[in-house]
Amino acid sequence: MRRASGTENQKKREGRLAGKTVVENSFFGIHPLLASPKKFSKENLIRWIITATGWITVIILTLIMLLLFTEGLPIFSTTNPFSFIFTTDWYPVSDPPVFGILSFIVGSLMVTLTALVIAVPIGVAASAFLAEIATPTLREIIKPIIELLAGLPSIVLGFIGFLLLAPVVQNAFHLSTGLNGLTAGIMLAFICLPTIVSISEDSLSAVPKEYKEAAYALGATKWQTIRRVLIPAARSGIMASVMLGVGRAIGETMVVLMVAGGRLALPNFITDPLSAMTGRIAIEINNAVFGGLQYQALFAMGIVLFLMTLAVNIIADLVLEKQRRRYA
């Protein structure tokens, strides 16, 4: 009896160990009958490649930040940070040099906001049309064309704005020049549109069909369903597309450089010629002496641009978190 009971206990322990092995293998997505050293080695290799890729990305971004701050912060040993950010005097070759980037900050904000005012309503409306109104055949034709527009080089769009749009803006608003913030904002809106349309359309298409069916069952029209059901349900994806559009607009260089006018003074209206931070850095970085004050000031301007982009991302995360709690 004792031997029999001991044998039964040993079998139970072996069964528990086998069950534990099955659970562990199932946790990693491996069926116990299919598990093999060769398969484990392949999966470990893929896992290590993915992990290494993620860490390499983090390391590269960290090094870029270190370079930016290392080269830019020394300017504040000779220039007051408050004067650097909140004054408009930019005389890098005077003796002593004077650096104030307020006009560039205002120019960047004015151009970016103009682009968003134009691109967001058009982009969300176009995505709703593709997701809910257009036929499948029409959708398959239009969406690849929109995504293809995202691949157009910035220099090409800058030429289009310089040769075609600038004269139209000049004649329409009776301006002395068509190279101004409005022209730059319109071209930046054109650049942001493919990103906003593509991601927003994917977000609207991912909304469960039960939402639409419930709205139709309650007597809602297609327009009411899109406006009050689908767009709120896809709000996080739409917000993400807008934030990506903001990042693309605020960091764009060539278009702003070519069509914004390049004026150093503080702009009063969007129709005034202006300079953005990206354009000013691109113009002066080749003429700046390596390690000199102008060189440091341009990197400090890059720090301000980086902090502005970071603030936009933080605000977007807070808004998205608030929306998730609201619709949870």
Note the pLDDT of residue 93: 86
Number of domains in the chain: 2
Q: What is the DSSP string of 256-288?
A: HHHHSB---SPPSSTTS-B--HHHHHHHHTTTS
Whether residues 16 and 96 share a domain: the answer is no
Domain assignment present for 199: yes
Other Cβ atoms less than 10 A from the Cβ of 239: the count is 18
Instruction: Judge whether 100 and 89 are in contact, CB under 8 Å.
Output: yes
Domain assignment present for 192: yes
- Sign of CA pseudo-dihedral 129, 131, 135, 138: positive
Domain assignment present for 289: yes
Q: Which two tokens stand for residue 293?
A: 């004050």
pLDDT at position 17 over 60: no
Whether residues 171 and 98 share a domain: the answer is yes
Domain assignment present for 292: yes
Whether residues 252 and 163 share a domain: the answer is yes
Which letter does DSSP use for residue 252 in this model?
-
Helix and strand numbers (H, E) in the chain are 15, 2
Domain assignment present for 62: no
Range of 3's domain?
1-35
Backbone phi, then psi, for 98, in 5-degree steps? Answer: -125, 135
Instruction: Judge whether 275 and 250 are in contact, CB under 8 Å.
Output: no
**Degrees (nearest 5) of the Cα angle 202, 206, 207?**
125
Q: Which two tokens stand for residue 244?
A: 């990506």
Domain assignment present for 14: yes
Which pairs count as long-range contacts for 88-93, CB under 8 Å and 24+ apart, including other chains? 88/265, 88/266, 90/264, 90/280, 92/284, 92/288, 92/293, 92/294, 92/297, 93/294
- Any idea which of 28-42, 126-140, 221-235 has the lowest mean pLDDT? 28-42
Domain assignment present for 43: no
pLDDT band at 209; cut points 50, 70, 90: confident
Whether residues 16 and 100 share a domain: the answer is no
Whether residues 103 and 246 share a domain: the answer is yes
Per-residue pLDDT, averaged over 196-213, amounts to: 89
Whether residues 168 and 252 share a domain: the answer is yes
Question: Across the chain, what does the average pLDDT equal?
Answer: 85
Cα distance between residue 209 and residue 310, in whole Å: 35
Per-residue pLDDT, averaged over 293-297, amounts to: 94
Note the pLDDT of residue 24: 45
Whether residues 30 and 103 share a domain: the answer is no
pLDDT band at 148; cut points 50, 70, 90: confident
Choose among 238, 235, 233: nearest CA to 211: 233
Q: Which two tokens stand for residue 78?
A: 């000779």
Whether residues 16 and 161 share a domain: the answer is no
Whether residues 30 and 86 share a domain: the answer is no
Instruction: Judge whether 296 and 101 are in contact, CB under 8 Å.
Output: no
Whether residues 87 and 31 share a domain: the answer is no
Cα within 13 Å of Cα(105), Cβ side: 21
Residue 26 burial (10 A CB sphere; 0-12, 13-18, 19+):
exposed
Whether residues 95 and 213 share a domain: the answer is yes
CATH code, 291: 1.10.3720.10
Per-residue pLDDT, averaged over 167-175, amounts to: 93
Residues 6+ apart with CB under 8 A from 309: 247, 250, 251
Place of tokens 């560039």: 104
Place of tokens 């960047």: 108
Taking only the tens place, the pLDDT of each residue in 37-64 is: 555 578 888 899 999 999 999 999 999 9
Cα distance between residue 105 and residue 273, in whole Å: 14
Domain assignment present for 212: yes
pLDDT band at 250; cut points 50, 70, 90: confident
Whether residues 96 and 16 share a domain: the answer is no
Cα distance between residue 222 and residue 134, in whole Å: 13
Taking only the tens place, the pLDDT of each residue in 93-116 is: 888 899 999 999 999 999 999 999
